[in-house]
Chain A
């Protein structure tokens, strides 16, 4: 086995595993609670839950299947041929050859905001999109641009779209249940209360459970998203061998964001989770319920953020830079174990 100087980041792996485990735990608890409620009262609540599951599951599968088309349409991006964007394609070609992965389609979005995203349900159908702002306005040099593209290709390699879709399934179903329960209570409340002989209406219990599940899973998904970003930064920096180029690209792009007017930011919201840098500092989430509180200061906005803070990302890249620069004699992480 060839020697390697790329030590795995166990801390990140452990944190990500714990987050996913907690999400799974919430999922199991949620299902158990719903089954419990329904068998205890065997009320018409079952129909609501079933409809929410079908709607939620269906919309998740559809959004996964059409993720590339949806994202391209939302960003107004156009797929470009190697002839139209030779330099961009050449960088992607080389990175894919280095990483031994399928080349995604390459698209350019006519947005002034400097950013990039990658999406698609599998490696064959993925698409990598950069904005015109990133190409022409952000003053990135070729190697900084390469760092950004390597970060996005790592998202494709890590199948982040699939992972995040599965992870958000729970939140989607819970969010739908809150709404359904609310409306059914609104329009059919009196009738149902009578069915239950004066007890607390089943729909209200389902609604309460769903609100809690939604809030918890929403936070966990954001945590997971931040870890996926760090993992993509890490793999991207290792792929190009130039962590400081990625760091300077991050800094430049984050500075560029500050100048962008609000209209652009709002238009970019649906894509936020897949972007290279967050286009929105604080988002309220798509499903209703736990909205981002304002004025809570830095720690609160950090809690709801899809991306880790710039300082955290730069810190990690500095660590990788030190690892790569270790002298050959004693610095090799022998064989990496597996």
Chain B
């Protein structure tokens, strides 16, 4: 935000960065090779709804768009829409575990639909889920406004496996833009699609 904007108190909504999301499929290969975590095939987009019919129309259009291919080979399951307790909406897309490309394309379709309709600033984060043989849960969270990723590894209760998260961060340092500011690695407890 520029000096004048600050002085005049007119902060502008921040536009999302979308492109770095496509680095995910190759990062998943690195992740599997070095840690044994594989994609579960499900991922989600989280955004802040805007009141009014315009936004809910856009929202249902996106849902219809994603559901067009549902059930066909490579099309995945119908999207699931959840509203969390903080008022954010999560669109969960579920594919087979080897269809990460299709999943990322789905997630990107949501992003572009919102951006095209002028609701880009409402995008919060996107999340892609992973598991290892010991059934440990891991998510890579993409922050739209920063264009960076961070790992989120929830344990039971409201605890996070910080050691695992740091390990994942180091493994993926070359493949993904990792969020360097650890205070921005906010927890998404009970996020749909994990």
Contact = CB atoms under 8 A, between A and B. Distances in A.
A235 B86 CA distance: 19
B9 A241 contact: no
Interface in B1-57: 1, 6-15, 48-55
A228 B117 CA distance: 29
Interface in A1-59: 2-6, 8-9, 12-13, 16-17, 20
Nearest to A5: B118
Given A94-B86, A157-B6, A242-B87, A3 B118 contact: yes
B117 A328 contact: yes
Contacts of B6: 157-159
A325 B10 contact: no
A218 to B, nearest CB: 20
B54 A158 contact: no
Q: Which of A12, A239, A241 counts the most chain B CB atoms within 10 A?
A: A241
A100 interface: yes
A98 B9 contact: no
Interface residues of A, number: 57
Contact of A154 (B7, B11, B50, B120): B11
A100 to B, nearest CB: 4
A163 B184 contact: no
Contacts of A98: 14, 48, 121-122, 124, 145
A241 B8 contact: no
Contacts of B15: 2, 4
Contact of A91 (B9, B53, B55, B86): B86
Contacts of A3: 115-116, 118, 120
A243 B189 CA distance: 27
Nearest to B49: A241
Interface of A: 2-6, 8-9, 12-13, 16-17, 20, 82, 86, 90-91, 93-94, 96-100, 102-103, 142-143, 146, 154, 157-160, 163, 227-228, 231-232, 234-235, 238-245, 321, 324-328, 331-332, 336
4 residue pairs, one from A and one from B, having the closest CB atoms: A231-B9, A325-B52, A241-B50, A93-B186
Interface of B: 1, 6-15, 48-55, 58, 85-88, 115-122, 124-125, 143, 145-146, 158, 183-184, 186-187, 189
